[in-house]
Amino acid sequence: MHNAHRRPAASTGSGRPPRLRLAAIAALAAILALLSACGSSAGTKPAATPAPATPAPTASSSPVDGTEIDQLPSVPSPTVTPSPPDLSTPAGQAAFLRQVFTDIQAVWSKDFAASGLTYAPARLVLFQSQVATACGTESAEVGPFYCPGDRAVYLDLQFFQSLAKQFGVSGDFAEAYVVAHEVGHHIQNLLGITGRVSAAGQGSNALSVKVELQADCFAGVWAHSTYERKLLEPGDIEEALKAAQVVGDDYLARASNTAVDPDSWTHGSSAQRQQWFTTGYHDGRPEACDTFAG
């Protein structure tokens, strides 16, 4: 994650959009139950080139209002930068994940401050086997996840080992994508999106897909900031795209020899997940991440 190499295909534009209206989110919803858990174990190689920048949301409309995101300013540069990672040992990998987590939060903290908001930090919990959370006791089988009840991102290191050893998904930026996606759920929680989704239809697969794709796009927005800070190495974005591909619902269905049924999806297809990540990366602005648009 050093030395800029790959330039986003789309410009971030000139000027800054209007600041977020505080009244629009003054009544942030109380922390609700855990949305669909994120992350799975499967793998194959994606195309080497990034997906097009134009997003491909589902055609169905949604009662969730995405105007808050439209008014967030462009992502600024944070004050914290990750150190070169050493993923060869559990201690080195844990240190890298913490550094990335800190960096992602620094980006969003400055973004909130630029909008007149106070950023409430998330916590990072690294665990093995199982962990007790405000959302209940979860096992490592659920994969990486975010619990709004305690504002914490939970990561099992064995998840990344499985991706690398069994499915060929490896690299520091593949892991960083996963972390950035989970922090994206924290951003949704702080903006009240999590609460509105729950009120609009907890358990709705269509809404769950929109939530997950937006978190992918938010991860891409952070990735754009790493480009601007000249932290990217050749192949970093491809690593993220590969990780996004193998956690697509259609890919997971094929990997388990089950029928590909879009109505059962909770996270979106491989193509959708890659495309929304790329949208955030190319555009570099949270306003590009309104997956709830009709």
Question: What is the per-residue pLDDT across 132-175, written as a single tens digit (0 to 9) for each?
Answer: 999 999 988 888 999 999 999 999 988 988 888 877 888 999 99
In whole angstroms, give the CA distance from residue 89 to residue 112: 35
Q: Which two tokens stand for residue 199?
A: 């009120």
Question: Quick one: CA dihedral 164, 170, 175, 181, positive or negative?
Answer: negative
In a domain, 117, yes or no: yes
In whole angstroms, give the CA distance from residue 94 to residue 284: 27
* Per-residue pLDDT at 77: 58
Q: Which two tokens stand for residue 216?
A: 């992918």
Indicate the helix (H) or strand (E) that contains 133: strand 130-133
In a domain, 66, yes or no: no
SS3 state at 94: helix
Question: Contact 12/72 with Cβ under 8 angstroms?
Answer: no
H helices of the chain, where? 22-25, 67-70, 90-114, 157-167, 172-190, 193-201, 205-228, 236-246, 249-255, 270-283
Q: Hey, how many other C-beta atoms are within 10 angstroms of the C-beta on 31?
A: 17
pLDDT at position 124 over 50 = yes
In a domain, 60, yes or no: no
In whole angstroms, give the CA distance from residue 152 to residue 204: 23
The total number of structural domains that make up the chain? 1
In a domain, 134, yes or no: yes
* Per-residue pLDDT at 55: 36
Does this model's pTM top 0.95? no
In a domain, 200, yes or no: yes
Mean predicted confidence (pLDDT) in 96-120: 93
Q: Which residue has the tokens 């462009």?
A: 74
SS3 state at 127: strand
Nearest to 107, CA basis, from 82, 133, 71, 144 = 82
Q: Which residue has the higher pLDDT, 231 or 64?
A: 231
- What is the pLDDT of the chain when averaged over all its residues? 77
Q: Which two tokens stand for residue 263?
A: 């109505």
Q: Which two tokens stand for residue 89?
A: 């040992």
* Per-residue pLDDT at 210: 94
pLDDT at position 129 over 50 = yes
* Confidence class for position 220, pLDDT limits 50, 70, 90: very high
Radius of gyration of the chain (CA): 17
pLDDT tens-digit profile of 234-265? 899 999 999 999 999 888 888 888 888 888 88
In a domain, 39, yes or no: no
The domain of 157 spans: 82-289
In a domain, 180, yes or no: yes
Residue 154 neighbours by CB under 8 Å, 6+ apart: 125, 127, 131, 133, 138, 144, 145, 146, 147
* Per-residue pLDDT at 294: 65
In a domain, 26, yes or no: no
* Confidence class for position 81, pLDDT limits 50, 70, 90: low
pLDDT tens-digit profile of 22-68? 222 222 222 222 233 453 333 333 333 333 333 333 333 444 555 55
In whole angstroms, give the CA distance from residue 239 to residue 100: 15
Residue 23 neighbours by CB under 8 Å, 6+ apart: none
In 192-204, which positions are buried (b, 16+ CB within 10 angstroms) versus exposed (e)? bbbbbbbeeeeee
Nearest to 134, CA basis, from 266, 48, 33, 30 = 33
pLDDT at position 3 over 80 = no
* Per-residue pLDDT at 162: 85
Mean predicted confidence (pLDDT) in 64-84: 57
* Confidence class for position 74, pLDDT limits 50, 70, 90: low
